[in-house]
Structure 1
Amino acid sequence: MKIKLILADDDVLIRESLKIILSMDKELEIVEVFKNGKEAIDFLLKNNIDIAVLDVRMPLINGVTATAEICKRTNTKVIILTTFDEDDYIKEAIKNGAKGYILKNTPPQKIIETIKMVYEGNAVLQDAVLTKLSENIKMKAESKNKIDKEKFTERELEIMKLIAEGLSNKEISKKLFISEGTVKNYITSIFQKTGLTHRTQIAIYYLKGEI
């Protein structure tokens, strides 16, 4: 069964190029392409699509606003694909429910891998984007420390740190010599204590010093 996805980008060359590139993977099916966020939303409200790959800056409704509507009103998972890596775009898109955020200069295979990872339930923030975001967050955290370690157990703090370093559940389990199931239980506890909903938010939460 193929992963059904749509693309939305106001640049026709990028839009069609992505369509051709992604269509080369036998596990992906490009159902439709759009030139703005409004068209994407209207289509998704009437069709069951697994993944929506959206550009940030589009006419009528941009990618960030479209993400909020799509995540609120459909089961489609959103990946932001853009040339812009400004903090505000990243944070707003994640806040609105985006499960992936990568740059357009990312190699095609990496984009395909991201789509598959998000489809499987993972949140993906490209290394270059996470590094930039982390650096700026750390600078702000230095001037305003919000650490409250009493809120979490030592193990939870350790797992949050490893998530912020980009480790998967499997890698964390190996590093800490515990099962993946135990790692998932700790992450669930972290979600409950923070009100967060996915791993990328935990990484940002940790890096901002809000622990």
Structure 2
Amino acid sequence: MTIRVVVADDQELVRSGFAMILDAQPDIEVVAEAGDGAAAVDAVRRLAPEVALLDVRMPGTDGIEACRAITAGTACRTVMLTTFDADEYVYEALHAGASGFLLKDVRRDDLVHAVRVVAAGDSLLAPSVARRLVERYTAGGAARPDPRLDALTARERETLLLLARGLSNAEIAAELVVSEHTVKTHVGHVLAKLGLRDRIQAVICAYETGLVTPGAPPVGRGGPGAGSPA
């Protein structure tokens, strides 16, 4: 299946560069380019692509607003691109519904990989963004356990904890000594019970609710790595 993509950035050379990289892939087609958020939203609504790459800072309707509109009104998934890795952009984008967040100095192969990962229904964070996410929710001591976690079974809490530590489904299966199919079921229950959209929101929730605490020992590989689904 060809992954159809809309690329939005107010800088024409940057926008064209990303489009050329993606269009060169046999399984990816850039169906539209946009110079601002409003044009990006319009293109997504007209063309129904699988993925939209959105620059955070654009004139008029910025990338965050465009992400929010696209996520709320279409099935398209979004990846945010920016030269800035300041905290506020990360959290605004993730809470707006973004499925990925990359810096513009991303390597060619990592950009292509991110589009494929997000199109497949997974989520992805640049390594520096993942570190900031963890630092924000581990700063200042552990949070008081949140009552939202009461909806989860003990095994579902374990699954959420391992998700927050960056483990893949295969690694969670090995840790819990169950099948990958069982892990997928647990992940689905966690997302449904907590009203979460994807694994990125699950990671945020684990830190917000205090399930993951500062100084907790790493499990498996540790946090999300470069080019790895979060």
Is the TM value for this pair above 0.5? yes
Percent of pairs with identical residues: 33
| Counterpart AA for 1:37 | G
Greater Cα offset, 79-88 or 26-35: 79-88
Matches of residues 69-88 of structure 1 in structure 2 within 5 Å?
69-88=69-88
Alpha-carbon distance in 2 for matches of 1:160, 1:128: 22
Tell me the equivalent position of 1:15. Answer: 15
Alignment of 1:145 onto 2:144: yes
Tell me the equivalent position of 1:50. Answer: 50
Query: 1:174/1:94 Cα in 2 relative to 1: closer, same or farther (>3 Å)?
Result: same
Question: Residue 45 of structure 1: SS of its match in structure 2?
Answer: helix
Shift of 1:145: 2.6
| Counterpart AA for 2:144 | N
Tell me the equivalent position of 2:190. Answer: 190
Shift of 1:192: 3.1
Shift of 1:153: 3.1
CA contact (8 A) 1:138 1:208 kept: no
Tell me the equivalent position of 1:158. Answer: 158
Query: 1:85/1:152 Cα in 2 relative to 1: closer, same or farther (>3 Å)?
Result: same
CA contact (8 A) 1:134 1:207 kept: yes
Query: 1:164/1:143 Cα in 2 relative to 1: closer, same or farther (>3 Å)?
Result: closer
TM-score (norm 1): 0.91
Tell me the equivalent position of 2:217. Answer: none
Alpha-carbon distance in 2 for matches of 1:94, 1:3: 22
Alignment of 1:172 onto 2:172: yes
| Counterpart AA for 1:64 | I
Alpha-carbon distance in 2 for matches of 1:70, 1:209: 28
- Once the two structures are superposed, residues 64-113 of structure 1 have per-residue CA deviations (whole angstroms, 9 ceiling, x without a partner) of 10011111222211111112222222222222221111111111101111
Gaps of 5+ in 2: 212-230
Alpha-carbon distance in 2 for matches of 1:134, 1:172: 19
Tell me the equivalent position of 1:97. Answer: 97
Alpha-carbon distance in 2 for matches of 1:47, 1:24: 20
TM-score (norm 2): 0.84
Shift of 1:147: 4.8
- Once the two structures are superposed, residues 5-42 of structure 1 have per-residue CA deviations (whole angstroms, 9 ceiling, x without a partner) of 01001112211111122222111111121110011111
| Counterpart AA for 1:145 | R
| Counterpart AA for 1:33 | E
| Counterpart AA for 1:38 | A
Tell me the equivalent position of 1:67. Answer: 67
Shift of 1:150: 4.8
Q: Root-mean-square deviation (CA), in Å?
A: 1.8
Alpha-carbon distance in 2 for matches of 1:39, 1:192: 33
| Counterpart AA for 1:120 | A
Alpha-carbon distance in 1 for matches of 2:110, 2:28: 14
| Counterpart AA for 2:57 | R
Alignment of 1:110 onto 2:80: no
